[in-house]
Structure 1
Amino acid sequence: MSPTTVLSTDEIAPRERGLQWSEWIWRHFGGLQSDLYGDDDFDGHLAASRAGDVILTRLEANRHRVVRTPTMARTSEVPYLKIVAPWQGSAIVHQQSREACARNGAWVIYDTTGAYEIDNPERVDHLIVMVPLTAVQDRKLRIEGLMARPLGASGISRVALETMRNTYLELPNMSEQAARGAGETIKQLVELSLLELAGRETMLTQREALRDRIRSHVQRHLGDPGLCVDSIARTLNCSRRHLYNAFAGEGETIAAYIQRMRLEACIRELRQRAGPERPITEIATSWGFGNPSHFSRLFRGHTGMSPTEFRRGG
């Protein structure tokens, strides 16, 4: 029977749950910052088991975010590929200027040796699978272009999804030898899924390629108050219609994406404690917000707090 680690906020005083959860997330996943979108009410449950050297964790919690900075990635002891596969809720993975959303029936893979951010904007029930990076290095896969891509809809990645889920559910009934074998199967299926994805990536649709170019351009020019659909179209030498088509099905418009990226850049800067504090208006202006009142309204809608409250308690 595979040993299980179980952590729950049920026995923690409500006002202490957020801090305790952040500490658990930091320890269990090898260094991750966590925040709760400014919410006061939180509960979370985490149960983890091993299938050989593959770690499978079921995470049930209120909405929250996790961030792995470049410094955290450099200091990590064990390199993993990490997979988030929701049963309920959604996960939005940001890595290498890309963004991928997973819901029930899909999974997204990302690399713990690089910086990333995961948004869980609603209550979630996720399966998190950590596969040693060495498991997919034998075939010299160029994994950089395969991270933060959605998988699981069909083909071998669908088989991998069902295998990961069933393995987690049945681990309590497995011998240690059987669990190791299940872990090896998961590693093989993940590698095959990435190989299949790599084959498709050689024939990336123009829409996918343009979407990546848009996001990369936005990341480089967030501080430009003139950044908009028209300016992006001129720089990338394409029509507004092509830009809108590239973002079709993403769940937000290009303008909403720009706004969210700007807000998250301000949030990261307001979290920082080192050195003298910059005025909040100066931070907002540096990331392209021209109207302080408009910025404050957007910030409160995104985090549940004013920028000043967030700086004091975030």
Structure 2
Amino acid sequence: MTAPVVLSTDGLPEKETAPAWHDWMAQLFSGLDTDLYGDTRFDGNICVAYAGDVMLTKLEAGRHRVVRDSHRPRESEAAYLKIVAPWEGQAQVQQNGQQASVSSGNWVIYDTSQPYEVANPFHTEHLIMMVPKQSIAERGLRLDGLMGRNVGGSAGMARIALQTMRSTYQELDNMTAPLARRAGELLVDMVYLSLQAMSGQVTAVTQKQALYDRICAYVAGHVRDPGLSVDQVADALNCSKRHLHNAFAGRELSLGAFIQQSRLELCMRELHAPALAHRTITEIAMGCGFGNSAHFSRAFKAYAGRSPSEYRALQL
């Protein structure tokens, strides 16, 4: 089997940890841009291994976000379906208008050939798997609408796939190259069957997960509305607030906290954008749904660890 690639900020001078992480993300994952929430010190460890054409990465890191912008991929750049399956922490994925949040016991999938963003607002320990897109697409499964989705992991084929991903990664060191390649082919089969199930060709997504996905999509589409609230979401989706809260039961954030975090994440993106440097911080905050600048400043500093002006100056 190909020797794993191991990268770590351990032992690096403090001022070099953040630049090193930026470089590693860009090299390993086709030019990804990284945002460290304004932190200048960063702790992270990456171990990359291969099961044939399938790339498996264990990532342990502080809070960070990665962004693939709208640039077109190079002709020589292969397209992958990328999976994030947290052991600890949380990942929030946005792609094609879809927004999904996953924690331990679930996995999310997205397409690396399309723009996307993954936010990791807490310390994380993730298993990341990359499967050649062609290996799934050539089987006739329509991928439209399946990307940027929480596939699940608590039951059915999604749970079997999650268990197989984890056990394969843990046993790769003991596999010969032919056996590792065969294990990679099995992982492709597991991903295909999970997506087939999610598409409704085998079974439907659970009602709770379906409602959660609808809520996330609504929040993503209306996050700039200062009137966005639990009540508004309930009215728009024609369900009770109790059902909304049930959909978020067992997750790290309540719906109200999720709405505020979505607004803060949008503000961070816009404060980071050179094209919006002419806009004041207050204009950006109001445009992202905040109705009170003092409340925004307190919430932003609590979330990002810096004031909005400090964060903007550091990013720009």
Counterpart AA for 1:23: D
Per-residue deviation, 1:281: 0.8
Q: Which residue of 2 aligns with 1:136?
A: 136
Per-residue deviation, 1:311: 0.5
Q: Relative to structure 1, is the Cα distance of residues 247 and 174 closer, same or farther in structure 2, using a 3 angstrom cutoff?
A: closer
Q: Which residue of 1 aligns with 2:78?
A: 78
Q: Deviations over 1:31-75 (max 9, x none)?
A: 222222233432211121222111111112222222223336688
Q: Which residue of 2 aligns with 1:299?
A: 300
- Within a 5 Å distance, the mapping from 1:202-281 to structure 2 comes to 203-204=204-205, 207-274=208-275, 276-281=277-282
Alpha-carbon distance in structure 2 between the residues aligned to 1:247 and 1:170: 34
Instruction: Give the conservation status (yes or no) of the 8 Å contact 2:86–2:102.
Output: no
Alpha-carbon distance in structure 2 between the residues aligned to 1:189 and 1:209: 21
Q: Relative to structure 1, is the Cα distance of residues 100 and 4 closer, same or farther in structure 2, using a 3 angstrom cutoff?
A: same
Matched, 1:10 2:5: no
Q: Relative to structure 1, is the Cα distance of residues 102 and 234 closer, same or farther in structure 2, using a 3 angstrom cutoff?
A: closer
Q: Which residue of 1 aligns with 2:195?
A: 194
The alignment's TM-score, normalised by the length of structure 1, stands at 0.88
Counterpart AA for 1:82: K
Report the identity percentage.
Answer: 50
Q: Which residue of 2 aligns with 1:94?
A: 94
Per-residue deviation, 1:132: 0.5
> Could you say what the CA RMSD is over the residues aligned between the two structures, in angstroms?
2.6
Q: Relative to structure 1, is the Cα distance of residues 185 and 211 closer, same or farther in structure 2, using a 3 angstrom cutoff?
A: closer
Counterpart AA for 1:265: L
Alpha-carbon distance in structure 1 between the residues aligned to 2:202 and 2:166: 26
Alpha-carbon distance in structure 2 between the residues aligned to 1:264 and 1:163: 33
Q: Secondary structure at the match of 1:118?
A: strand
Q: Deviations over 1:278-303 (max 9, x none)?
A: 11111111112121111100100110
Instruction: Give the conservation status (yes or no) of the 8 Å contact 1:33–1:68.
Output: yes
Counterpart AA for 2:100: E
Q: Secondary structure at the match of 1:144?
A: coil
Instruction: Give the conservation status (yes or no) of the 8 Å contact 2:152–2:158.
Output: yes
Q: Relative to structure 1, is the Cα distance of residues 42 and 275 closer, same or farther in structure 2, using a 3 angstrom cutoff?
A: closer
Instruction: Give the conservation status (yes or no) of the 8 Å contact 1:93–1:100.
Output: yes
The alignment's TM-score, normalised by the length of structure 2, stands at 0.87
Alpha-carbon distance in structure 1 between the residues aligned to 2:159 and 2:208: 23
Deviates more, 1:282-291 or 1:206-215: 206-215
Counterpart AA for 1:29: F
Q: Relative to structure 1, is the Cα distance of residues 10 and 76 closer, same or farther in structure 2, using a 3 angstrom cutoff?
A: farther
Instruction: Give the conservation status (yes or no) of the 8 Å contact 1:102–1:150.
Output: no
Aligned pair count reads 313
- Unaligned 5+ segments in structure 1 are none
- Shift >6 Å, 4+ stretches: 72-76
Alpha-carbon distance in structure 2 between the residues aligned to 1:143 and 1:235: 27
- Unaligned 5+ segments in structure 2 are none
Instruction: Give the conservation status (yes or no) of the 8 Å contact 2:106–2:150.
Output: no
Deviates more, 1:50-59 or 1:301-310: 50-59
Alpha-carbon distance in structure 2 between the residues aligned to 1:32 and 1:273: 17
Deviates more, 1:259-268 or 1:66-75: 66-75
Instruction: Give the conservation status (yes or no) of the 8 Å contact 1:86–1:127.
Output: yes
Per-residue deviation, 1:238: 4.2
Deviates more, 1:118-127 or 1:236-245: 236-245
Per-residue deviation, 1:145: 3.1
Per-residue deviation, 1:20: 1.0
Alpha-carbon distance in structure 2 between the residues aligned to 1:74 and 1:247: 39
Instruction: Give the conservation status (yes or no) of the 8 Å contact 1:100–1:150.
Output: no
- Within a 5 Å distance, the mapping from 1:155-194 to structure 2 comes to 155-194=156-195
Instruction: Give the conservation status (yes or no) of the 8 Å contact 2:10–2:43.
Output: yes
Alpha-carbon distance in structure 2 between the residues aligned to 1:44 and 1:155: 33
Q: Which residue of 2 aligns with 1:288?
A: 289
Instruction: Give the conservation status (yes or no) of the 8 Å contact 2:197–2:203.
Output: no
